[in-house]
Amino acid sequence: MLELNNILNKITEMLQTLSEILQTEQKILIENSLTSQLSEIINKKSQLLIQLKLLDDNRIKLSKKFNVQPPYKENPTIAAHWLSITDTTKLLSKINRDNGLIIQNRMNITQQSINYLKGINNPTVYTNNGYQQTDVISSKRAKV
């Protein structure tokens, strides 16, 4: 059971690191500062999630080996540790979801801006009789 407790300790440490990464990501997204660092933060988050998955796989194997299952009621220490991990995971999931909503909102605003600018870049051209011309006018002249 000591092995299982050690894995839970490692998971707790990694969740704390993940919490710091998600909070930094959210701060950058809200303040719109240092956006160049987002790529690095996303890479760190991805690597950490891979490591957490591997640790959780080990936790599952050890649970089967010792014939115990979450929430580990047989061992109060491990049960308390497991409860803390699940509560932290729920909180981090919410923060990550909020970050995703911020990113989606930014993408929508950016797309609206692009669409607006496209409208400005394609000015309306009128013919000599006052009607709107639907054809695109080229700036190149034809040589005769």
How large is the average pLDDT for residues 15-32?
94
Name which residue leads in pLDDT, 102 or 135. Answer: 102
Residues 10, 16, 20, 21, CA torsion sign: positive
Our count of domains for the chain comes to 1
Name which residue leads in pLDDT, 110 or 51. Answer: 51
Residue 100: partners with Cβ closer than 8 Å, 6 or more residues away = none
Q: What's the CA gap between 120 and 114, in Å, rounded?
A: 10
How large is the average pLDDT for residues 58-77?
94
Please, what is the Cα angle at 110 between 36 and 97, to 5 degrees? Answer: 70
Q: In this structure, is residue 84 part of a structural domain?
A: yes
Q: What's the CA gap between 86 and 71, in Å, rounded?
A: 10
Q: What is the enclosing helix (H) or strand (E) of 12?
A: helix 2-31
Q: In this structure, is residue 27 part of a structural domain?
A: yes
Structural domain range at position 115: 2-121
For residue range 92-103, what is the model confidence (pLDDT) as tens digits? 999 999 999 999
Q: In this structure, is residue 28 part of a structural domain?
A: yes
